[in-house]
């Protein structure tokens, strides 16, 4: 009996380890100008998880100011049609609303999200987590609510003039979307977003 329990425990452990390995098995999809875009299979969505790594000019305070400027997300975030600050919960905590433009004939999406930024002044790093709030408030009938979205930013200081960004996006857009639309948001979208952020950071550090 003890041998059977040990074998069962070993099997469960190996299954758990394999699951963790699969969850972190990122596959590089595109690399351009120092921006790496990878993806992995998402078990709860037709949209693969996206991982972006990039080095940007400037410092974390400059990048933090860009990320806190909700109303200007449309200036750099791919397909962002509108972004509005809904409620300030603290200096670096808030609730915001976003509308995402999706190519016709698909329906544009919207979501409300919690934004929580934590800065470590000792390590000169930032962790930002943005998670949608389902059914927070009703929206226009011609929009479809995103089922789930979670963005995780880990920003670390490389030097006085450079930062490293490690970003993960987990998204279930809801409804049915053609494969070519999903591909736009899994490769083209993240690349354009980070190219835009990089340009904004360069403008702050001529």
Per-state percent for the chain, helix, strand, coil, to nearest 5? 30, 40, 30
Average pLDDT of every residue of the chain: 87
What pTM did the predictor assign?
Answer: 0.85
Share of the chain above pLDDT 90, in %: 68
Does position 190 have pLDDT exceeding 80, yes or no?
yes
CA distance 125 to 164: 9
Tell me the per-residue pLDDT of 27-62, one tens digit each, with 9 for 90 and over.
999 999 999 999 999 887 778 899 999 999 999 999
CA distance 163 to 125: 9
What distances in angstroms separate CA 58 from CA 75, 107, 162, 190, 196, one per listed residue?
19, 37, 5, 20, 14
pLDDT at 63 over 70: yes
Per DSSP bridges, beta strands 35-40 and 148-159 are unpaired
Any residues with CB less than 8 A from the CB of 41 and at least 6 apart, and which? 22, 48, 49
Span 95-132, pLDDT tens digits: 999 999 988 888 999 999 999 999 999 999 999 999 99
- Which domains occur in the chain, in start order? 28-204 (3.30.530.20)
CA distance 146 to 174: 5
* 196 phi, psi to nearest 5 deg: -65, -40
């Amino acid at each position: 009996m003890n041998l059977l329990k040990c074998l069962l425990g070993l099997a469960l452990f190996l299954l758990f380890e394999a699951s963790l390995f699969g969850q972190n098995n990122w596959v590089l999809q595109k690399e351009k100008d120092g921006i790496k875009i990878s993806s992995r299979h998402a078990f709860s969505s037709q949209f693969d998880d996206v991982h972006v790594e990039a080095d940007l000019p400037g410092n974390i305070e400059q990048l933090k100011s860009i990320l806190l400027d909700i109303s200007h997300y449309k200036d750099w975030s791919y397909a962002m049609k509108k972004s509005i600050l809904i409620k300030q919960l603290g200096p670096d905590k808030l609730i915001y609303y976003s509308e995402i433009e999706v190519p016709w004939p698909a329906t544009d999406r919207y979501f409300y999200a919690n934004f929580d930024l934590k800065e470590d002044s000792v390590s000169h790093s930032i962790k930002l987590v943005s998670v949608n709030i389902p059914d927070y408030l009703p929206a226009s009938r011609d929009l479809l609510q995103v089922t789930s979205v979670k963005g995780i930013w880990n920003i670390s200081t490389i030097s006085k003039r450079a930062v490293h960004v490690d970003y993960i996006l987990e998204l279930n857009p809801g409804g049915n979307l053609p494969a070519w639309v999903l591909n736009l948001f899994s490769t083209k979208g993240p690349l354009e977003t980070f190219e835009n952020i990089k340009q904004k950071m360069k403008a702050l550090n001529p």
